[in-house]
């Protein structure tokens, strides 16, 4: 593998599982299937000599059963501000190409796919604030996703919770929150008040950079 790349940025993930998401602990999904949208805002990065700073993309995922059982679908949407070279770089990374086998969640997820839909290019309005546990990702006519802090039902105040995975293939530390997403691309999602995750993405072709 000759390609060398690095991503350093912020991510917001919303899936259909209950808060905490059993998948984070190698347990079965809450409802017996998995559907999710992952939103990425890259602050700095490169793919060989292609600068990836400022790029934005979303990955829409669906599995009819457990992730490990396969038969999944995925679709990539890249912000239309990306150059053709940046688009192809993001496509390769998010589809698990140019990556050491099993090193990233992108590689693992792609290995479980039965259908990889044609990637899209569209204007993406996105912001991710990990510390505040707030995020939004809007792709006109396709995606409306938002993340917010957990709320303590007893006093109405924001509640902070986090997951630490020292050997995780996606992140080392993630703040927890609430996600709401509506997706009407080749894959349709309607997620309401479910698992929300806010984390740094810092990885290269060999996995998470510790």
pLDDT band with cut points at 50, 70 and 90 for residue 113: very high
pLDDT band with cut points at 50, 70 and 90 for residue 19: very high
Residue 165, pLDDT above cutoff 90: yes
Fill in the DSSP letter of residue 16.
S
203 near 60, Cβ under 8 Å? no
- pLDDT tens digit sequence for 147-158: 999 999 999 999
- 50: Cβ contacts below 8 Å, ≥ 6 apart: 83, 85, 86, 89
Residue 204, pLDDT above cutoff 90: yes
Residue 140's closest CA among 160, 158, 126? 126
For residue 12, what pLDDT is reported? 98
Mean pLDDT across 163-184: 97
For residue 144, what pLDDT is reported? 98
Question: Six-digit token pair at 191?
Answer: 């997620």
Q: Quote the CA–CA distance of 201 and 60 in Å, as a whole number.
A: 17
Q: How many CB atoms lie within 10 A of CB 32?
A: 10
Residue 47's closest CA among 76, 74, 87, 104? 87
For residue 32, what pLDDT is reported? 97
Q: Quote the CA–CA distance of 182 and 1 in Å, as a whole number.
A: 37
Residue 13's closest CA among 124, 111, 137, 169? 137
Q: Quote the CA–CA distance of 184 and 130 in Å, as a whole number.
A: 26
Instruction: Please name each of the domains of the chain with its CATH number.
Output: 5-208 (2.40.400)
For the chain, the straight-line distance linking the first and the last C-alpha, in angstroms and rounded, comes to: 22
Residue 1, pLDDT above cutoff 90: no
For residue 127, what pLDDT is reported? 98
- pLDDT tens digit sequence for 54-100: 999 999 999 999 999 999 999 999 999 999 999 999 999 999 999 99
- pLDDT tens digit sequence for 117-144: 999 999 999 999 999 999 999 999 999 9
């Amino acid at each position: 593998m000759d390609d060398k790349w690095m991503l350093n940025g912020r991510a917001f993930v919303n899936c259909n599982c209950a808060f905490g998401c059993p998948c984070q602990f190698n347990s079965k999904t809450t409802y017996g299937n998995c559907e999710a949208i992952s939103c990425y805002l890259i602050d700095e990065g490169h793919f060989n000599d292609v600068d990836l700073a400022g790029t934005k993309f979303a990955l829409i995922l669906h599995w009819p059963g457990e992730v490990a059982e396969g038969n999944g679908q995925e679709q990539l949407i890249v912000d239309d501000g990306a150059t053709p070279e940046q688009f192809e770089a993001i496509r390769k990374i998010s589809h698990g190409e140019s990556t050491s086998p099993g090193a990233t969640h992108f590689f693992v997820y792609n290995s479980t796919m039965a259908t990889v839909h044609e990637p899209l290019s569209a204007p993406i309005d996105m912001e991710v604030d990990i510390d505040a546990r707030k995020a939004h990702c809007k792709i006109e006519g396709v995606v409306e996703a938002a993340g917010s802090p957990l709320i303590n039902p007893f006093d109405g105040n924001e509640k902070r919770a986090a997951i630490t995975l020292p050997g995780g293939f996606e992140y080392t530390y993630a703040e927890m929150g609430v996600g709401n997403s509506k997706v009407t691309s080749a894959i349709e999602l309607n997620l309401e008040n479910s698992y929300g995750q806010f984390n740094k993405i810092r990885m290269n072709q060999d996995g998470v950079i510790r």
